[in-house]
């Protein structure tokens, strides 16, 4: 037995994401690339402004659909649905009750190795929470990102705590799994509410408050148990452009032994940017790093138009 029950006991798992009409093609691509791992996993999505046909596609999976609400004394009318979806994440259990494990996946993430989903689920069952850290030698230092992060850590958490958080491994909230009974939910909401009260801003404190909750010591003196996964489990493309592994036909770490990336995250400009991707067999090709892109079939069409997806739709 572990903290949250037997690792081999049956468990109900819900995968949750969010999208509006503009980025629905990314959500569809994410679910399509994950489809081999979806049996036994239910799907839910926050509707941030989808079209009727898009909601119909989700309903056919079938998927649960909800509209995010305001929480933690936030006035809903002062924020759009996209911002409210960030606010809703610590409360997934309220929107979709009855599951043992909740997995959040940003719609701009897609899978090369769908089995990575099981690593997150197992981590949540063993420790209560599973998430990927961003300490990766291939990630380039981005001065603007560091300045932005520093600013919001200091504004949201004060000079002492903010500086301490900057010294910790940063964690990416675009892909995480949490057990329904884990204390991490309440800790996250508590730190998030304090940051909102201090700054009046919902983002980036949805993620930064989670970083604080997972790194901080509780009054008992212990930290919340957490499974920290490696960056290949949630690779942020714009932080480190991957290579193409010709031997296995997949995007991979840009250094030997060229380990394939399990989950490709198109955070920020990664959704639209065209990259020059080096190949392990020599040479390079130019592409957006989207589902189905290969050296022989690069994805160069408009991402907003949804014309870049070259993977088949879920039946």
| Three-class SS of 42-104 | EEEEEECCCCHHHHHHHHCCCEEEECCCCCCCCCHHHCCHHHHHHHHHHHHHHHCCCCCEEEE
Residue 54 lies inside a defined structural domain of this protein: yes
The domain that holds 38 is classified in CATH as: 3.90.550.10
Residue 273 lies inside a defined structural domain of this protein: no
Residue 300 lies inside a defined structural domain of this protein: no
Residue 196 lies inside a defined structural domain of this protein: yes
Residues 6+ apart with CB under 8 A from 222: none
- From residue 73, how far is each of 32, 33, 81, 265 by CA, in Å? 37, 38, 16, 31
Per the structure, how many domains does the chain have? 1
Question: Which structural domain, as residue segments, surrounds residue 226?
Answer: 13-231
Rounded CA gap, 272 and 300, in Å? 9
Q: What is the 3-state secondary structure (H, E, C) of 257-278?
A: CCCECCEEECCHHHHCCCEEEE
**pLDDT (0 to 100) of residue 7:** 45
Q: What is the mean pLDDT of each run of 10 residues along the chain (315 residues)?
A: 46 96 96 85 97 97 96 94 97 98 98 96 97 97 95 94 94 98 97 96 96 84 92 97 98 98 97 96 97 95 46 32
Residue 291 lies inside a defined structural domain of this protein: no
**pLDDT (0 to 100) of residue 220:** 64
**pLDDT (0 to 100) of residue 38:** 76
Q: Is this prediction's pTM over 0.75?
A: yes
Q: Positive or negative CA dihedral for 89, 94, 99, 101? A: positive
**pLDDT (0 to 100) of residue 131:** 98
| Closest among 209, 252, 178, 166 to 71, alpha carbons compared | 209
Residue 194 lies inside a defined structural domain of this protein: yes
| Closest among 119, 104, 86, 90 to 182, alpha carbons compared | 90
Angle between helix 205-215 and helix 143-166 axes, rounded to 10 deg: 40
């Amino acid at each position: 037995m572990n903290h949250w029950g037997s690792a081999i006991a049956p468990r109900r798992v819900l995968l949750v994401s969010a999208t509006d009409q503009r980025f629905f093609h990314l959500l569809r691509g994410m679910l399509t690339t994950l489809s081999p791992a979806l049996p036994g996993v239910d799907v839910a999505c926050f509707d941030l402004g989808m079209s009727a046909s898009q909601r119909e596609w989700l309903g056919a999976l079938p998927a649960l659909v909800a509209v995010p609400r305001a929480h933690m004394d936030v006035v809903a009318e002062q924020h759009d649905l996209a911002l409210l979806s960030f606010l809703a994440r610590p409360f997934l259990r309220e929107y979709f009750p009855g599951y043992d494990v909740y997995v959040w996946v940003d719609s701009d993430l897609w899978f090369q190795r769908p089995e990575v989903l099981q690593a997150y689920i197992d981590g949540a069952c063993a420790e209560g929470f599973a998430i990927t850290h961003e300490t990766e030698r291939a990630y380039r230092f981005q001065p603007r990102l560091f300045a932005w992060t520093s600013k919001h850590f200091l504004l949201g958490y004060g000079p002492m705590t903010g500086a301490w958080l900057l010294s910790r491994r940063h964690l990416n909230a675009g892909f995480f799994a949490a057990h329904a009974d884990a204390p991490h939910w309440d800790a996250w909401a508590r730190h998030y509410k304090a940051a909102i009260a201090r700054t009046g801003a919902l983002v980036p404190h949805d993620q930064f408050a989670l970083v604080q909750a997972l790194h901080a010591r509780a009054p008992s003196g212990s930290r919340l148990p957490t499974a920290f996964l490696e960056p290949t489990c949630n690779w942020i493309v714009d932080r480190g452009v991957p290579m193409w592994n010709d031997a296995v036909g997949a995007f991979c770490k840009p250094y030997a032994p060229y380990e394939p990336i399990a989950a490709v995250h198109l955070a920020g400009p990664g959704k639209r940017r065209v990259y020059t991707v080096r190949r392990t067999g020599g040479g390079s090709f130019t592409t957006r790093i989207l589902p189905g892109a290969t050296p022989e079939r690069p994805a160069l069409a408009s991402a907003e138009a949804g014309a870049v997806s070259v993977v088949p739709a879920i039946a």
